[in-house]
Structure 1
Amino acid sequence: MKEMAVEDLFTIKNPVIIDIRSPIEFNDGAIPGAINVPLFTNEERQIIGTIYKQEGSAVAKWKAMEIVSPKIPELLQTIKKCVSNDTELIIHCWRGGMRSKAVVTFLEFAGIYSWRLVGGYKAYRHYILEQLPTMLPNKAIVLHGLTGVGKTEVLKILNKKGYPILDLEEMAGHRGSIFGTIGLSDGHNQKTFDSLLFKGLRDIKDADYFLVEAESKRIGKAVQSEELMDKKMEGININLNTPIEQRVKHLVSEYVEPYQEETWYFDKISDGIEKVLRRIKDADIKKSLIQTLTDRNYPEMIRILLEHYYDPRYDHAKQEYEGEFFEIYAEHPMDAADKIAEKLNQLSFYPIQELNFHNRMIK
């Protein structure tokens, strides 16, 4: 049986990672890109666990064999469809125990050769938590700006230009506000956030700096590490300024137009407004917000929220950052990305390809 240590997993060129844990385990946290081919359903896993506690290991193993035996042909067929001649097949379970050993053995009998990940997902989780604090590039370029300036979109444009970015909102599955999950799931948990951050840092490992949005420490369900927050607080700050008309337009296109006809949309907005109303003291502002909700006048609602709720809170958050601030004035995200790229080049922060070339020339 071929075995692979977690640290070797990231040296494989074309890995196909098959996670054979139950769906509930997989959804709680998984290796990015892994394919869930569960050996047991959630209910079957629970039954086996109960038998193990009440009747012991031998009885539980027998029950597991009874459940798995009829599934083996379909299980192997499903895994076989995932691999090709130029891929390396890697199988793992929770801690590299009986489930992964059994599947690797079944595959071997069928003439499909695979690696068993030693220690399983548990070892992977331990490894990335150990590595994350050591992986951060030297310098953070922190993108600030009032809600609606399009910071995330600007980061994505800069990424396409070759600049190293960390999109923390995408990693958290949350846009970092009361309305942050509209059009998304309920947000990623800490395990998923950490896994995506680890992958993101590996993607920019050749860079000595990174671009990141000025998020608060908690983004939805996920919390940033002290090491990451310290890098941001000590970084170089770029503050993006955009006219409020453009900000309203941007937020309508992101939060309203794609979803407003969905049955869940009005209730979701109502819940968010209810939370905002608890924090606003001005009676006239409250009345105006309630009226926009009644009228479903979302552009006007967004304008009121920006002027009287989000904007006043933003200046306070900026004061936590120690580094110098550079102001960028732009009409839209593409304009902003071009001006930020120009500023970065002036500060000798180049796209990764140019950075590698620049470093070779120095040597």
Structure 2
Amino acid sequence: MKDISVQELISSSKYIPVDVRAPIEHKESAIPGSVNIPLFTDEERQEIGTLYKKSGEEAAKWRAMEIVSPKLPRLLGEIKELKKTGAEPIIHCWRGGMRSRSVASFLEYAGIPSYRLEGGYRAYREYILERIPEILPQKAVVLHGMTGTGKTDLLKALQEKGYPVVDLEQMANHRGSIFGMIGMGEAHNQKTFDALLFDRLNEIKGANYFIIEAESKRIGRAAQPDEMIAKKSEGIHFLVKSSIPKRVQRIYDEYVHPFKEEAWFEEEVKEKVTKLLRRISQDAATSLQVALKEKNYLDLIEILLIHYYDPRYGHALQEYSGPFHEIDADAPDVLEQLEKKITHAITNSNSGLKI
């Protein structure tokens, strides 16, 4: 049995983390790319924990052995299959304790060389939280813009072209507008967000700058690190502008058209829109209710933009002193326009950074 440090795990592509914790633990906090091969189901884990509290460690260990013994051939077989991919499985649990040590020992008994993550998931999390501020590139390029101006599409296009983009909404699995949350599923928690953020920053390590969308500190269930917020406020700022009709159509095409025939769509939109009725004027609320009842989603989106999202975003923009470099999102060459302006702004920034 050999212990592998977190740094060794992260710095090599030959390793694959194998999480032997219960599925509920893996869902709550996992190393990106890890495979969950649990010793216990969620129910079995709860049973053993209860037994430990009531009857002590010896009784809990005995029950754990009874549960695990019949599973061993399958568990070890699954880990053995992973080795056939060319990757080296690294066993881990929460803190490198009994569960990972037991599995690694069983592998050794079966004649399979085993590797264990030193300190378990807890050591991994401590490591990435310490490293995130250290590997943040020096300069932030920040895209601002009202809802529906296509900022996310621009970020994705830039990333595909190799730019050092950090897509915070993707990492949080959360978008700010009500339609932006359609089809997204459950937002990621802080641990998942931090792990995905570290992975991306590690990928672009060495870049002098990074490109992000202007987000508030909290995105859904997760919060950005203070160091990123500070770099954002001191960054180079671009304001993406677009007409109301174009913005309405973008939102409709991306978030309404693909889902409007789904059984859950109408009820989900109704639930989210209803929560906003008290936050806009009475006339706008009345118009919104009519559009909702008639399923006129184009009108509904326009009312929300004009009477809810735009006033709030305009207020948020006042937090930045500028200057803002403007980008016309409705122009056919918007991506090329943005690339040129980023290059020019970075090259001529006071920091002296160059692409």
TM over 0.5: yes
User: 1: CA distance between counterparts of 2:69 and 2:311?
Assistant: 62
Greater displacement, 82-91 / 259-268: 82-91
Contact 1:142 1:212 in 2 (8 A): yes
User: 1: CA distance between counterparts of 2:89 and 2:183?
Assistant: 34
The alpha-carbon distance between structure 1 residues 154 and 164, as it changes in their structure 2 partners (threshold 3 A), is same
Give the secondary-structure state (helix, strand or coil) at the position aligned to 2:253: helix
Aligned to 2:51: 51
The Cα offsets for residues 112-137 of structure 1, whole Å up to 9 and x where unpaired, read as 32310011111111111122222211
- 1:241 is aligned to 2:215: no
User: 1: CA distance between counterparts of 2:20 and 2:345?
Assistant: 48
Contact 2:22 2:40 in 1 (8 A): yes
Give the secondary-structure state (helix, strand or coil) at the position aligned to 2:13: coil
Give the secondary-structure state (helix, strand or coil) at the position aligned to 1:347: helix
Give the secondary-structure state (helix, strand or coil) at the position aligned to 1:90: strand
How much has 1:150 moved relative to structure 2?
1.1
* Runs of 4+ with deviation above 6 angstroms: none
User: 2: CA distance between counterparts of 1:346 and 1:24?
Assistant: 48
TM-score, reference length from structure 2: 0.95
Aligned to 2:311: 312
Give the secondary-structure state (helix, strand or coil) at the position aligned to 1:148: coil
Give the secondary-structure state (helix, strand or coil) at the position aligned to 1:130: helix
Give the secondary-structure state (helix, strand or coil) at the position aligned to 1:133: helix
Greater displacement, 82-91 / 204-213: 82-91
The alpha-carbon distance between structure 1 residues 349 and 83, as it changes in their structure 2 partners (threshold 3 A), is farther
The Cα offsets for residues 281-315 of structure 1, whole Å up to 9 and x where unpaired, read as x2111111001110111111111111111111111
User: 1: CA distance between counterparts of 2:333 and 2:73?
Assistant: 56
The Cα offsets for residues 306-362 of structure 1, whole Å up to 9 and x where unpaired, read as 111111111111121244210111326x73222110112223459xxxx9xx88xxx
Where in structure 1 are there 5+ consecutive unaligned residues?
none
Give the secondary-structure state (helix, strand or coil) at the position aligned to 2:276: helix
The Cα offsets for residues 36-70 of structure 1, whole Å up to 9 and x where unpaired, read as 11110000000111111111111111110000000
How much has 1:226 moved relative to structure 2?
1.5
Contact 1:19 1:91 in 2 (8 A): yes
Aligned to 2:88: 88
Aligned to 1:224: 224
The Cα offsets for residues 85-123 of structure 1, whole Å up to 9 and x where unpaired, read as 632211100111111011112222333323100111111
The 5 Å alignment of 1:243-282 reads 243-280=243-280, 282=281
Aligned to 1:30: 30
Aligned to 1:336: 334
What fraction of aligned residue pairs are identical, expressed as a percent?
Answer: 54
Aligned to 1:159: 159
The Cα offsets for residues 62-81 of structure 1, whole Å up to 9 and x where unpaired, read as 11000000001111222222
How much has 1:15 moved relative to structure 2?
1.8
User: 2: CA distance between counterparts of 1:226 and 1:147?
Assistant: 24
Contact 1:292 1:301 in 2 (8 A): yes
Give the secondary-structure state (helix, strand or coil) at the position aligned to 1:210: strand
User: 2: CA distance between counterparts of 1:177 and 1:117?
Assistant: 40
Contact 1:19 1:93 in 2 (8 A): yes
Contact 1:135 1:201 in 2 (8 A): yes
How much has 1:245 moved relative to structure 2?
1.8
User: 2: CA distance between counterparts of 1:85 and 1:286?
Assistant: 57
The alpha-carbon distance between structure 1 residues 85 and 276, as it changes in their structure 2 partners (threshold 3 A), is closer
Give the secondary-structure state (helix, strand or coil) at the position aligned to 1:314: helix
User: 2: CA distance between counterparts of 1:50 and 1:294?
Assistant: 51
User: 2: CA distance between counterparts of 1:320 and 1:269?
Assistant: 31
User: 1: CA distance between counterparts of 2:181 and 2:113?
Assistant: 42
Aligned-CA RMSD value: 1.7
Greater displacement, 233-242 / 172-181: 172-181
User: 1: CA distance between counterparts of 2:285 and 2:196?
Assistant: 39
Aligned to 1:100: 100
Greater displacement, 318-327 / 66-75: 318-327
Give the secondary-structure state (helix, strand or coil) at the position aligned to 2:82: coil
How much has 1:138 moved relative to structure 2?
0.6
- 1:286 is aligned to 2:282: no
Aligned to 1:177: 177
Aligned to 1:345: 343
Contact 1:168 1:213 in 2 (8 A): yes
TM-score, reference length from structure 1: 0.93
Contact 2:179 2:251 in 1 (8 A): no
User: 2: CA distance between counterparts of 1:337 and 1:107?
Assistant: 52
User: 2: CA distance between counterparts of 1:112 and 1:325?
Assistant: 59
Aligned to 2:132: 132
